[in-house]
Amino acid sequence: MSLPSDFLWGFATASYQIEGAVDKDGRGPSIWDTFCAQDGKIAGGVDGSVACDSYNRTAEDIALLKKLSVPSYRFSISWSRIIPKGGRNDPINQAGIDHYVKFVDDLIEAGIEPLITLYHWDLPDELDKRYGGLLNREEFPLDFENYARVLFKAIPKCKKWITFNEPWCSSILGYSTGYFAPGHTSDRKKSPVGDSSREPWIVGHNLLVAHGGAVKVYREEFKPKDKGEIGITLNGDYAYPWDPEDPRDVEAADRKIEFAISWFADPIYFGKYPDSMLKQLGDRLPKFTPEELALVKGSNDFYGMNHYTADYVKHGDGNPAPEDFLGDLTTHSYNKHGECIGPETQSFWLRPNPQGFRKLIQWLSKRYGYPRIYVTENGTSIKGENDLPKDQILNDQFRCDYYDGYVKAMAQAVTEDGCNVKGYMAWSLMDNFEWAEGYETRFGSTYVDYKDNQKRYPKKSGLQMKALFDGLIKKG
């Protein structure tokens, strides 16, 4: 098995998780700053105000990437550093633009290709207060389009753009379960606002339209001269039927992927929502206007794929609750025969299953006509890692084995299944602010010592990544 000679690998991060410096150089607050300030939302009551201090340590981060021999780096930009209040008629913050322009210049000078994500969950808080943020069908797509244009113009050297990271998480975790900012949910014990039966589907629709608008801007105004490409990153797990002999479980396994991934990918590739979602949700799924559809359909130059784990799936009873977002089913770590999907990690939702990665690449490739895929995130936490002494954290053999298994499963999908995977970004370059889990959960291939001035120490998994890819990428 092998990967093509032009295959691109690297590491990924997100602005709020690593940057810190939340009030430096004119940055405005984001919905995550506001969410973290609410009691009980984040494990340990922490926030991203310092995180890994990467805003102040870009040179150190580039030196780290060079030490790991990394050819590419995916990072996200903080919208509220660029336009502190967020809106298309609000002032632009030149200091924020200058910071990212210099960072990209420095990456390229170091021989590292940047992949830029425009939005990794940190909406300017002002837009949420002003008009409901992602819930606003009229204002939000136009403000996002403006923000995207500002960055396309400022950073022509970037040739790979991602509009949104994991719109499923923004929609479901932000507006159904209330687990992520801004924390809307029907559960009044968790939030005074929210309608879990309707809001997530509205948000998902608005994110698709905003994505389409930004892609149109890039293709018409920038792509002809900059020669770059643009897509969206979607997340989802592979789903195995709990009982492979039960056709209802087989159907439910497909439906699980449709409710997670095809919710966004089907409109982009086919111009409509999946039939399974239309059947269950009815008029709760917004209808595309002809203008919206013209923006959304065909709006991917590549498919961005985030993937971590797999589940066994058991069909529901045909009467899903109004707030159900899985597709009338339940997920399980064990199947009917008592077989386990994979070992436990620090993350309750993550159990390694590398063959599920290969199977999901196959599933997506068949459904969407074998698109060019960039794996934009893949990685694992380790159970109890944060409680280990530093020398044991650095020797993260569990993560090494995870990457080895997953990367080779991906190579099998390319070599044996004919899938068109062109890149792989490991999550994450370094331990960081893990959203609602705070700093308890570590995903990094570099250890960050939060008790000693955020010092970085490469782990075994980071140091071995080059050898893993050198052994698989064809020599061009």
Among 139, 199, 377, 437, the active-site one is 377
Report the amino acid identity of residue 102. Answer: K
> SS3 sequence, the chain?
CCECCCCEEEEECCHHHHCCCCCCCCCCCEHHHHHHCCCCCCHHHCCCCCCCCHHHCHHHHHHHHHHCCCCEEEEECCHHHHCCCCCCCCCCCHHHHHHHHHHHHHHHHCCCEEEEEEECCCCEHHHHHHHCHHHCCCHHHHHHHHHHHHHHHHCCCCCEEEEEECHHHHHHHHHCCCCCCCCCCCCCCCCCCCCCCCHHHHHHHHHHHHHHHHHHHHHHHHHHHHCCEEEEEEECCEEEECCCCCHHHHHHHHHHHHHHHHHHHHHHHHCCCCHHHHHHHHHHCCCCCHHHHHHHCCCCCCEEEECCCEEEEEECCCCCCCCCCCCCEEEECECCCCCECCCCCCCCCCCCCHHHHHHHHHHHHHHCCCCCEEEEECCCCCCCHHHCCHHHHHCCHHHHHHHHHHHHHHHHHHHCCCCCEEEEEEECCCCCCCHHHCCCCCCCCEEEECCCCCEEEECHHHHHHHHHHHCCECCC
Among 166, 199, 434, 437, the active-site one is 166
Report the amino acid identity of residue 74. Answer: R
Active site residue 377: yes
CB 81 within 8 A of CB 26: yes
Give the residue numbers marked as catalytic: 166, 377
